[in-house]
Structure 1
Amino acid sequence: METKSVSGVSSDDTQRADVIVEAAGQLFFAPGCPRVSMDDLARELGMSKKTIYRHFPDKRSLLAAVLDRKFAAVERALDAAAEDAEGQPLDVRIHRFLIAAGGELEKLGAAQLALGRGDAMLRQYVERRVDAVIYRRLHELLVDGHQQGLLPAPPELLSAIICGALERLLTSQLPRELDWTAADLLRATVDTVLYGATRPGDHAVGDAQNRVVRPVLRGDSPG
């Protein structure tokens, strides 16, 4: 279910507001794009800033509307991934979720970078939405695994470790240094926390993007 919008749109002209939000999302959060002003947006749309401000009282409310739309897309992607993995073993469900979540986090990367240079309130907003949309769902998967007896550690502990590690990793230079995607980092972090950094009989260090590892869950037969 999509979370409630907090963008604060003040106009009844929904169609024009949607056009503004769409253009703002493409312009403000384009990869590698420098800071973009409301003047730039007005030129891109071919309308006056006064018209934009009739729909959105300030840049913060417009950015929040863009993020509302982005997180609605994240939720739809995660719902689709969960439906696709329904009935699969826990490790498959977790990895399907992480593939979807990692891809969506990468789409949000430009927005997080922009907010990191700017409005602290909007940055906190992004963090809250990531927590509600992504981390909450991951915690639910861990709770399910614990209830099935597949994960002996308390799900609260696993969630705290994983979420804390991911927040640090995704804002560090490690993705660039390893040349890994957000999905790679998510999978590797969860595998390490849930199943350990080493596996019996596997001492080779390979490319994380090319290796496929099916961890042995409690209750699985090793063969």
Structure 2
Amino acid sequence: METEIVSAVSERTEVIVEAAARLFLGPGRVSMDDLARELGMSKKTIYRHFPDKHSLLTAVLDRQFGAIERTLTAAARETAGRPFGEQVRGFLIAACGELDRIGAAQLATGRGDPVLRRHVEQRMDAVVYQRLDELFRDGDRRGLLSTPPELLSEIIRGAVERLLNSQLPRQLDRSAADLLRATVDTVLYGAIRPADE
């Protein structure tokens, strides 16, 4: 009996987080009243699962970053054993594609909330940038980089954040992931030494 109750609570929590992700990461401002209407439940019921809007938004963000982490792990597995440039390119394209898909522009701004913005920055660092830094350090240890790995990391971080928050993808009718692919190819073309050197 207790297992059934826990399962029902978990299911309801997941339904709330899923609806909140759809609404809160979409365009425009959304209130808890809007979410309650969408779910067909009272705000009181939502607040039984999440004590405040911040905790709900944090759960939404953590769910989104969990998806990014799974995508990056899969991309690393796919490119394992391939040339270093393909590994870096695969990682970055997967990261930017996933960030673009889940609405990273809204994530990056934290919807105007400094606490959420800090949470997003911490999750971006832990899920994306620390992995990228390690990939570049590994390339440097193997003698595959002609540029300091820290510089490459900073260039790529700047490009990712700029492209995800820029109007350029819409102006060029391309996705942020497409433009990052071009950026990565441009930056890495001169940064990675050929394997036969």
TM-score by length of 2: 0.85
Moved over 3 A (4+): 113-117, 219-222
For residues 108 and 149 of structure 2, the distance between their equivalents in structure 1, rounded to whole angstroms, comes to 33
Deviation for aligned residue 1:110? 6.0
Residues 169 and 175 of structure 1 are in contact (CA less than 8 Å); yes or no, is this contact kept in structure 2? yes
Q: Which runs of 5+ in 1 are unaligned?
A: 1-11, 197-215
> SS at 2:132's partner residue?
helix
Decide which moves more: 14-23 or 57-66: 14-23
Residues 163 and 180 of structure 2 are in contact (CA less than 8 Å); yes or no, is this contact kept in structure 1? no
Residue matched to 1:209: none
Alignment partner of 1:219 is 2:194: yes
Deviations 1:108-129 (A, max 9, x none): 3266269454312112211221
Deviation for aligned residue 1:84? 0.9
Residue matched to 2:3: none
Deviation for aligned residue 1:130? 1.3
TM-aligned CA distance change 1:113 to 1:125, over 3 Å: closer
Deviations 1:13-33 (A, max 9, x none): 322211211111122223xx3
Residue matched to 1:149: 143
- Residue type of the partner of 1:77? T
Which residues of 2 match residues 61-76 of structure 1 at below 5 A? 61-76=55-70
TM-aligned CA distance change 1:126 to 1:108, over 3 Å: farther
Alignment partner of 1:128 is 2:122: yes
Alignment partner of 1:159 out of 142, 153, 163: 153
Deviations 1:29-73 (A, max 9, x none): 23xx32111111111111111111111111111111011111101
For residues 45 and 57 of structure 2, the distance between their equivalents in structure 1, rounded to whole angstroms, comes to 16
Residue matched to 1:41: 35
Alignment partner of 1:19 is 2:15: yes
Deviations 1:164-212 (A, max 9, x none): 233233222222222232222322222333324xxxxxxxxxxxxxxxx
TM-aligned CA distance change 1:113 to 1:126, over 3 Å: closer
The two structures, once aligned, show a CA RMSD in angstroms of: 2.3
Residues 29 and 111 of structure 1 are in contact (CA less than 8 Å); yes or no, is this contact kept in structure 2? no
Give the aligned length.
190
Residue matched to 1:202: none
Residue matched to 2:24: 28
Identity %: 66
- Residue type of the partner of 2:34? D
Residues 90 and 145 of structure 1 are in contact (CA less than 8 Å); yes or no, is this contact kept in structure 2? yes
Residues 149 and 219 of structure 1 are in contact (CA less than 8 Å); yes or no, is this contact kept in structure 2? no
Residues 56 and 62 of structure 1 are in contact (CA less than 8 Å); yes or no, is this contact kept in structure 2? yes
Residue matched to 1:112: 106
